Amino acid sequence: MSGVRGRTLLAVCAALFAVGVATSTCSSSKPDPAPRPVLQLWGDLKPIVSVKELMRDMLDPASDYVFDSVGTVISKKGGVVERQPRTDEDWEKIRIGAVTLAEGVYLLKIPRPFAPPGDENNSTGPDPARSTRVRTPPTSTCRSSWSTVASSAQMPMCGSLTGCPP
Residue 3 in any domain: the answer is no
Q: Do the domain assignments include residue 59?
A: yes
Decide which of 123 and 134 is more confident: 123
List pLDDT tens digits, range 74-101: 888 888 989 999 999 999 999 999 999 9
In a domain, 103, yes or no: yes
What pLDDT sits at residue 117?
86
The reply to whether 37 falls in a domain is no
Q: Give buried/exposed letters for 25-41 (b at 16+ CB in 10 A, else e).
A: eeeeeeeeeeeeeeeee
Structural domain boundaries, residue 76: 45-116+138-166
pLDDT averaged over every residue in the chain:
75
Contact between 138 and 109 (Cβ < 8 Å)? no
In a domain, 20, yes or no: no
**CA pair distance 166, 163, nearest whole angstrom:** 9
Q: What is the distance between the alpha carbons of residues 136 and 7, in angstroms, rounded to a whole number? A: 82
pLDDT the model gives residue 134: 44
Task: Indicate whether 124 belongs to any domain.
Answer: no
* Count of structural domains within the chain: 1
Report yes or no on 164 lying in a domain. yes
146 belongs to a structural domain: yes
